[in-house]
Amino acid sequence: MDPVYYQILHLFCLFVLTAQTFMAFANPLPENRKRTMMITGIAALLVLVSGFGMIAKVYHNHFAGWMVVKLVCWAGLSAMAGFAYRRPQWRAKLAFTALLLVLIALVMVYVKPF
């Protein structure tokens, strides 16, 4: 498959994951939990699969240090929606942490320091 398709899928699912995570921060009602957790789980899985697809196609399975940092950011962002429902009193801190994780991941893509 063309790497462009992996990139489109990766970015789209990342937008969905981030939007649903911040939706969980804004409205952590128990009625919304199941649907939000399903959407964030599927989006997180597709972000991971498309990311590894791009690594295979573009970087020929060469795993660089900046990719490890992005993987840690992905794991943190994937867990944020669950934390929003378990600890609603931490929403402001979790939202700041989620923004920080997204910023670090973006910096890793464009700067590639390692």
pLDDT digits (tens, 9 = 90+) for 66-89: 999 999 999 999 999 999 999 989
pLDDT of amino acid 61: 92
* 40, 33, 72, 14: CA torsion to nearest 10: 30
pLDDT of amino acid 1: 84
Distance CA 85, CA 89 (A): 9
pLDDT of amino acid 10: 97
Name the helix (H) or strand (E) containing 26.
helix 3-26
Distance CA 96, CA 93 (A): 5
* Residues in the chain with pLDDT values less than 70: none
* DSSP calls for 40-108: HHHHHHHHHHHHHHHHHHHSTT---HHHHHHHHHHHHHHHHHHHHHH-GGGHHHHHHHHHHHHHHHHHH
In the chain, the number of structural domains is 1
> Global pTM?
0.93
Q: 17: domain range?
A: 3-111
Give backbone dihedrals phi and psi of 3, rounded to 5 degrees, phi first: -60, -25
Give 16's DSSP letter: H
pLDDT of amino acid 89: 93
